[in-house]
Amino acid sequence: NDDLKQNKKKKADDDQARNLETLQVAFRKILSFMGTGSGRKVIFSPDVTVAFVHNNRYLFVPEALLTRELLVKVLNVCQCHLDGANGEKYSCLVQALFESLPGGRTRALNVEDVEKVIERARQVKKENANFLAQSRGKNFAGSRRNRESEKPEVPKKESANDVMDLTESPTRSSCGGKSGRCDRSRIVTPSVDLEAQIARITRTVGRKRRNTDGVDDD
């Protein structure tokens, strides 16, 4: 009976030592990825029931089986209470934990599981960066198209051929008399220069004024 008890105690001690070593290696890798491992000391104890940080330097962790639940709890404590914790890496780690590891409080993890989580977290971080880069590119292209569509239209320049003489109408001023025939020389076309139109109108008005002044009253 004594030998059996000793063997059981020895096996329990060996299991505890292996588990402690797994915890130490796993959290060293996790904290290193988060950027909070430098100058920090992780203390594992069976007397600790809830993970906590003391003096921004000591991280106390329950000495228990390494499970997904324990990793999530410790990650939350590190993110909230350790200076220098990288928020982006924290979110990538949490996403990788739930994607790569099965749930449950009793499913013990090993170092290989933690390495798989960290590798997946690196992939998630890269995917997020690529997504943001593509979004910025699409937003830039859309803003550029909007700016181009909002450019004011340049007004069209008027040419001499576009100027129409509205002061005289061929049917009223240029055509008259009993015959009703039109003087084709006085019909203004769009191709006539504006200055020539003004000069001709001035001469016409002058002749009419002289004719009016020379008429004798009966």
**182 has pLDDT over 90:** no
Strand order in the sheet with 58-62: 41-45, 58-62, 52-54
Please tell me the predicted confidence (pLDDT) of residue 11.
Answer: 87
Q: What is the pLDDT of residue 180?
A: 52
pLDDT in tens, 114-171: 999 999 999 999 999 998 888 876 666 666 666 666 666 666 655 555 545 545 444 4
CB atoms within 10 A of CB 37: 18
Kindly indicate the confidence band of residue 195, based on its pLDDT and cuts at 50, 70 and 90: confident
Question: Is 100 in contact with 117 (CB distance < 8 Å)?
Answer: yes
Rounded to 5 degrees, what are φ and ψ at 59? -110, 115
Task: For residue range 46-75, list pLDDT tens digits in order.
Answer: 999 999 999 988 999 999 999 999 999 999
69, containing H or E segment: helix 68-81
- Predicted local confidence at residue 173, as pLDDT: 47
Helix (H, G, I), strand (E, B), or coil: what is residue 98?
helix
pLDDT value at position 218? 47
Instruction: Identify the three-state secondary structure at position 91.
Output: helix
pLDDT band for position 217 (50/70/90)?
Answer: very low
Joined tokens for residue 13: 């001690």
Least confident of 23-37, 50-64, 91-105, 191-205: 191-205
> Residue 83's pLDDT band (boundaries 50, 70, 90)?
confident
pLDDT for 202 equals 77
